[in-house]
């Protein structure tokens, strides 16, 4: 499978990571909140909080990519989560898919590569208090609302 690890340049010169788009996993645990990644300083928007995720491989679905990346970066076991829904930002030349999943069993994430400063379960109300990755920050209000609607 062909790795998508490369920059894509948009028509206005903006750069986006992932030749075949990118995906991230938002894991929600009813007791502990959502799993967030404090991004390594050297990464794009380093020092901000976001989701474990990254470039999709050629032919890989967004769900497959998000689960693979979350396993690589945060040791999230695929069998510990159940996908609830996806949310797609499609710019025409590049897309990012947030895969939202419910934790169906407890697990402890740990930094499995160098892309994180820290991993943390954050209560839903506290997420917006952190310095968020701009893309995640822009999508958080809608994601939060959809999570709340599912919780009833």
pLDDT in tens, 39-88: 887 887 888 999 999 999 999 999 999 999 999 999 999 999 999 999 99
Q: Cβ(28)–Cβ(106) under 8 Å?
A: no
Beta strands in the chain (DSSP E): 7-9, 15-17, 22-29, 33-39, 49-50, 53-55, 81-90, 95-103, 116-122
Which among 131, 122, 106 is positioned nearest to 26, based on CA atoms?
122
CA separation for the pair 28, 39 (Å, rounded): 19
The stretch 20-41 carries a mean pLDDT of: 94
Q: Could you give the residue ranges of the DSSP H alpha helices within 25-152?
A: 62-74, 134-151
* CATH code of the domain covering residue 121: 3.90.79.10
Domain that holds residue 34: 7-151
Number of domains in the chain: 1
Q: Cβ(57)–Cβ(67) under 8 Å?
A: no
pLDDT > 90 in the chain, percent: 82
Answer whether residue 1 is part of any domain. Answer: no
Answer whether residue 2 is part of any domain. Answer: no
Rounded to two decimals, what is the model's pTM? Answer: 0.93
């Amino acid at each position: 499978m062909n790795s998508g690890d490369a920059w894509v340049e948009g028509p206005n010169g903006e750069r986006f990571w992932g030749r075949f788009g990118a995906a991230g996993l938002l894991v929600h645990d009813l007791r502990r909140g959502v799993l967030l990644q404090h991004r390594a300083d050297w990464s794009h928007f380093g020092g901000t909080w976001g989701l474990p995720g990254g470039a999709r491989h050629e032919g890989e679905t967004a769900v497959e990519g998000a689960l693979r990346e979350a396993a690589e970066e945060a040791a999230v076991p695929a069998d510990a989560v159940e996908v609830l829904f996806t949310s797609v930002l499609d710019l025409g030349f590049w897309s990012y898919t947030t895969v939202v999943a419910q934790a169906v069993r407890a697990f402890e994430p740990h930094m499995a590569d160098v892309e994180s400063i820290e991993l943390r379960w954050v209560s839903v109300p506290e997420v917006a208090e952190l310095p968020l990755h701009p893309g995640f920050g822009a999508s958080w209000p809608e994601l939060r609302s959809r999570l709340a609607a599912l919780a009833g």
